[in-house]
Amino acid sequence: MKIVITGALGHIGSRLIRTLPERFPGATFVLVDNMSAQRYCSLFDLPTGVDYRFVEADVLTDDPADWLEGADVCVHLAAITDATSSFDRPEEVEAVNLTGAERVARACAANDVAMLFLSTTSVYGPQGDEVDEECDESELAPQSPYAQAKLRAERRLAKIAEEDGLRYVIFRFGTIFGVSPGMRFHTAVNKFCWLASLGKPLTVWRTAYEQRRPYLDLEDGVRAIAFAIEGDLFDNSVYNVVTANLTVRDIVEMIRTSIPDTEVGYVDTEIMNQHSYSVSAVRISGRGFYPQGDPRAGIHRTLELLKGVRTTSTQKAII
């Protein structure tokens, strides 16, 4: 079996490339990344005895057929991923996250490779308390250029399936928490852990403290990807993948169990969805996938990684 992973050195990819070989022994793993996120460390100390091939390439300018030939599956992770900063560079985000995905999808279709596309639960902007994959079009209301490009890419994949016979599945991941070798810290939970570890107030969007949102344990995300490949879940559908729906208050309280004097400071943002909502992951459970993650444990592991920072710079460690 040959599995291609684009964006393989990122936060999710750097964990995925270490887990998949355990689930698919003997497979070849082609790791594609343009190094724009500079996660060289993701390639450090890879497990031995695994057939890894790293390709430094850009999904936007290099020909995906070069690395997709002979592959069974492509897990497409490559993207510009910071939703907040996507307001400053919408064209670039659209190019990588939409056109890049389209280029990979067309090459997958041409080479008979099944594609797993990583989208986001940020495509939702529902009016009600809970939303699922069968929601009304009006409940798909992405709030950032990042999420808008993801939704457009989802729709483009459906078109390529019709036109060129692409076989694909879309996973809408909740916001990831949990540690990995190529971890990033600009998503909510990890950023809060970082700030709390430094003894700084958590910067919370003014409207967000009591709003419920979907989160995903990185281990659950990686297990879901392996589950899709194992079970050939390429049914041209969309699946939400979520460990827990939580409020910012819930997350702050979990952090305070490790660092009790963590403070909160409020900031304004352009991403100002006023509604509190949960995202249902019942559809993928119906296929036999159940999340097992624990936000409290994931937060604790992240804070543990940073505890040296806290003890030396703020004298606040109690873990």
Chain positions contacting ligand NAD, by CB under 6 A: 6-7, 9-13, 33-37, 39, 58-60, 77-81, 96, 100, 118, 120, 173, 175-176, 184, 187
- Which position's Cβ is nearest ligand NAD? 10
CB of 95 to ligand NAD, least distance (A): 8
Q: Which is nearer to ligand NAD, 66 or 263 (CB)?
A: 66
317 close to 310: Cβ distance less than 8 angstroms: yes
Give the three-state DSSP class for 39: coil
How many whole angstroms separate alpha carbon 203 and alpha carbon 214?
Answer: 19
Q: Which is nearer to ligand NAD, 177 or 310 (CB)?
A: 177
Residue 189: closest CA among 174, 199, 171: 174
CB of 299 to ligand NAD, least distance (A): 14
CB of 141 to ligand NAD, least distance (A): 17
Both tokens of 307, joined, read 């505890």
Looking at the DSSP assignment, which residues form a beta bridge with residue 114?
A: 73
Residue 22: closest CA among 226, 252, 299, 250: 226
DSSP conformation class of 67: H
CB of 184 to ligand NAD, least distance (A): 5
How many whole angstroms separate alpha carbon 186 and alpha carbon 10?
Answer: 13
Q: Which is nearer to ligand NAD, 204 or 310 (CB)?
A: 204
CB of 97 to ligand NAD, least distance (A): 7
Give the three-state DSSP class for 165: coil
CB of 29 to ligand NAD, least distance (A): 15
Q: Is 54 buried (19+), middle (13-18) or exposed (0-12) by CB count in 10 A?
A: middle
Task: Return the H-helix or E-strand segment holding 118.
Answer: strand 114-120
Q: Which is nearer to ligand NAD, 7 or 126 (CB)?
A: 7
Q: Which is nearer to ligand NAD, 149 or 310 (CB)?
A: 149
Q: Which is nearer to ligand NAD, 184 or 256 (CB)?
A: 184
Task: Return the H-helix or E-strand segment holding 249.
Answer: helix 248-258
